[in-house]
Chains A and B, each alone.
Chain A
Amino acid sequence: MKFWLGAAIVLVGLAAMTSTLKYEYFFFAGYTVLMFVVLATAWNILGGYAGYVNFGTPAFFGLGAYTAAVLYKATAAPLALQIAAAAAMAGLLGFGAGLLTLRLRGIFFAIATIALTVIMETVFINWRYAGGATGLQLLRPPPTAPFESYIKMLFMVMALSAVAAVAVARYIERSWIGRGLRAIRDSEEAAEASGVPTLRLKLFACTVSGALMGVAGAPMPMYLSFIEPPSTFNLNYAIGALASPIIGGTGTWLGPVIGAVLLSSLQQIVTVTISSEINVLLVGVLLVVFIVAAPDGIIGLYRKIFARR
């Protein structure tokens, strides 16, 4: 109940911002922050709970974005439908990729997920209808009431997606699925021997994680009014999605949220203040610092400090 109350307050607060804040810049920047909340939360379902490190975030994110773009080009489908289709396609990709790769472990699974990104990028470079290598310019439709601008609408859509993603992650974490995934993370053999349906659970996590990443990617073509393969399948999405839970803490649903909000807000600020070169350095330095000094992230650090008291 407390969670839903908190989520409702956050959503109402953000909705109030869309009607009071005049400057669209905050919504452009806020959209990116919220998008990384979704990506980090999605990554954490497989990477944090089950311990399977996924570098393939751009594949799922990009497939979501391209599904939405192609659907819009073909049928001028509304945004909600684009997001639903993106979730379905990215979920299917997650399921398929899971079937093929989840028998791999550790570094081999991580390598397979990188390959997935390369495959997806190559597919879209060669698909002329989706713009191919030249990219696709899309003209946004007018925003839906009560929003006066499209970016404010996208900002609220991403806020809702973030709340939905966190709710899904929280449900998984608290249910038998989460316990099963944690058992897999600690020892897959022991989990299997204890009757945990390991492959089924991993497939489920892979599908849900992929679908949520697709949701994060779906509004991107409308955000940019443009889509092209190299930036859509950019490895920076993988790094952001992975770094946020590590900085925030991988064990819980709140870790990726804190990590993503902190990291992408910092990146947004650094991009327009110091230099955008520094923002990549920032992620690297923060990752090293957290892995060495606080392997359980901010949440772990918080618990450690308060446990001592």
Chain B
Amino acid sequence: MNFTRRKVLGAAGAAALTATLPGRRAFGQAGQVKIGMSMPQTGSLGAGGKAALVALRMWVDEVNQKGGLLGRKIEFIVYDDQTNPALTPSIYTKLLDVDKVDLLIAPYGTVPTAPIMPLVKQRDLLLMGNFSFQVNHTVKHDKWFNNLPAADASSWFPGFFEQGQKLGAKSIAFLAADQEFAQNLASGAKELAKKGGMKTVYDQNYPPTTTDFSSLIRAIRAAKPELVFVCSYPNDSVAIVRGVHEIGVGEGVKIFGGGMVGLQFTPIMESLGSMLNGIVNYNSYVPGIKYPGIEEFLSRYQKRAAEEKVDPLGFYLPPFNYAIGQMIEQAVNGTKSLDQKKLAQYLHTNEMKTIVGPIRYRADGEWAQPRMLMAQFRGIVDKNVDQFRSPGKQVVLYPGEYKTGDVVAPYEKARGK
């Protein structure tokens, strides 16, 4: 071999040099409050992440126009984590060590957030959660505050089972994607079904790459359940709704839906149109709910979203991301400090006023009063995105204080067949 020590050392030197390069450009201006995060802008959560980022940038711009936090402008530092959990630990250590951010916001989603939990716990830092699900379960960090309106799997779907019980349903079929989030949700739903004394007549997981659901839908039909509970990801949700539209799930089904991710996203709602009618599904916000300030926020968001070509309605994630900003603002102004301990204490002890309603936190950083909505699609027509802006297209069935109507059942009747 002709490779000499000089060459080997040269290669090692190049490695050491290139590894140190990013640090050279990372000097922030003194006097700014730095807030840092990674946001999935590509990969499977990319579309939602981009919309969420618009809301956070809106909050930053508005606070800066008012003079900033503690009289200092906010510098908002964001990296794209590609929805890849392998990237988030290095991104967050860069934010802390090189960019020297004052405050951290978690990336949207459970998987990119999970690897940074030990880091924030080890360094005892405040972390504002961003629609993550049970990531603090093992780590038990006392400075974690999630913006997800559900505390755990069983608090996600009480609305679905409450409606089922009202209709006298005794049997249920489960269909869930064999994926992290869907499995967590399905286990919570199964717990609720068991508590409600329902008999499981069908229980099937499907691989995340499934595109044809016709055999699964036929099997559900053959099992004759009264409730059909589905935990699916966006692409699967579309395929399942189309499959059910063609094949049907049987006359005996009273409620169909539950935990179908994607039916909250504008392009999917627009593309499925009237096929959505009758489905009872979870949601974080639907028009008609009068949280203070949310309608003004959405009208401002929708203008900006049109310019930036992201989710044009923005009901699902953007208001909750804006709420993260509002909570940071209240905690910083309330404590007149950026001290992580004081901020966490403030968030633990005070009720936060946000555009997604008042939020009070439990000791584990999840909502003390979960507020996941269960809504039924009604009167949806094809190819009309504007219809979703008006109240009544998604009738809120749960929780009681935000209820805008009663469930229409059975499902076949509700979907107009």
Min CB–CB distance B323 → chain A (angstroms): 26
B79 within 8 A of A: yes
B87 within 8 A of A: yes
Binds A, one of B6-14, B67-75, B142-150, B349-357: B6-14
A122 within 8 A of B: yes
Residue in A closest to B25 when the chains form the complex, CB atoms: A273
A8 to B141, CA, bound (A): 41
A140 within 8 A of B: yes
A170 to B178, CA, bound (A): 43
In the complex, are the beta carbons of B178 and A224 less than 8 A apart? no
B168 within 8 A of A: no
Which B residues are CB-close (under 8 A) to A253? Answer: 1
In the complex, are the beta carbons of A23 and B97 less than 8 A apart? yes
Min CB–CB distance A256 → chain B (angstroms): 11
In the complex, are the beta carbons of A132 and B183 less than 8 A apart? yes
Which A residues are CB-close (under 8 A) to B16? Answer: 13-14, 17
B195 within 8 A of A: no
Which A residues are CB-close (under 8 A) to B183? Answer: 132-134
B226 within 8 A of A: no
Task: Knowing A254-B8, A261-B18, A272-B79, say if A25 contacts B85 (CB, 8 Å).
Answer: no
A173 to B2, CA, bound (A): 13
A287 to B20, CA, bound (A): 25
Which A residues are CB-close (under 8 A) to B215? Answer: none
In the complex, are the beta carbons of B14 and A261 less than 8 A apart? yes
Query: What class of interface size applies to chain A in its complex with B?
Result: 35 or more
Residue in A closest to B113 when the chains form the complex, CB atoms: A226
Which A residues are CB-close (under 8 A) to B118? Answer: 139-140, 225
- Within residues 125 to 157 of chain A, which ones have a CB less than 8 A from any CB in chain B? 125-126, 132-135, 137, 139-140, 151
Interface SS of B by simple majority: helix
Interface flags for B157-180 (1: CB within 8 Å of A; 0: not) read: 000000000000000000001111
In the complex, are the beta carbons of A23 and B79 less than 8 A apart? no
Q: How many residues of B contact A (CB 8 A)?
A: 56
B30 within 8 A of A: no
Task: Knowing A268-B22, A272-B91, A276-B81, say if A5 contacts B1 (CB, 8 Å).
Answer: no
A115 within 8 A of B: no
In the complex, are the beta carbons of A254 and B7 less than 8 A apart? yes
Interface SS of A by simple majority: helix
Which A residues are CB-close (under 8 A) to B89? Answer: 28, 223-224
Which A residues are CB-close (under 8 A) to B180? Answer: 133-135, 228
Which B residues are CB-close (under 8 A) to A183? Answer: none
B114 within 8 A of A: yes
- Within residues 362 to 377 of chain B, which ones have a CB less than 8 A from any CB in chain A? none
A6 to B137, CA, bound (A): 46
Which B residues are CB-close (under 8 A) to A258? Answer: 11
- Choose from B80, B115, B138, B139 the contact partner of A275 (Cβ within 8 Å): B80
B207 within 8 A of A: yes
- Choose from B84, B96, B98, B178 the contact partner of A234 (Cβ within 8 Å): B84
A13 to B117, CA, bound (A): 31
A-B contact pairs, 16 of them (CB 8 A): A6-B12, A9-B5, A10-B9, A25-B98, A29-B94, A32-B90, A125-B178, A133-B183, A135-B114, A151-B93, A224-B85, A228-B114, A234-B84, A265-B21, A273-B25, A276-B42
Q: Which 10 A-B pairs rank lowest in CB-CB distance, beginning with the nearest?
A: A265-B18, A23-B97, A28-B90, A6-B8, A224-B115, A25-B93, A225-B118, A226-B114, A261-B15, A137-B138
- Give the B-binding residues of A (Cβ under 8 A): 2-3, 5-7, 9-10, 13-14, 17, 22-26, 28-30, 32-33, 122, 125-126, 132-135, 137, 139-140, 151, 170, 173-174, 220, 223-226, 228, 230-231, 234, 236, 252-254, 257-258, 261-262, 265-266, 268-269, 271-273, 275-277
For the A-B complex with A25-B22, A225-B115, A271-B90 known, give 18 more contacts whose Cβ atoms are closer than 8 Å: A3-B8, A14-B16, A25-B94, A26-B20, A125-B207, A134-B183, A135-B180, A151-B93, A228-B85, A230-B179, A230-B208, A261-B18, A262-B18, A265-B18, A268-B19, A276-B82, A276-B87, A277-B82
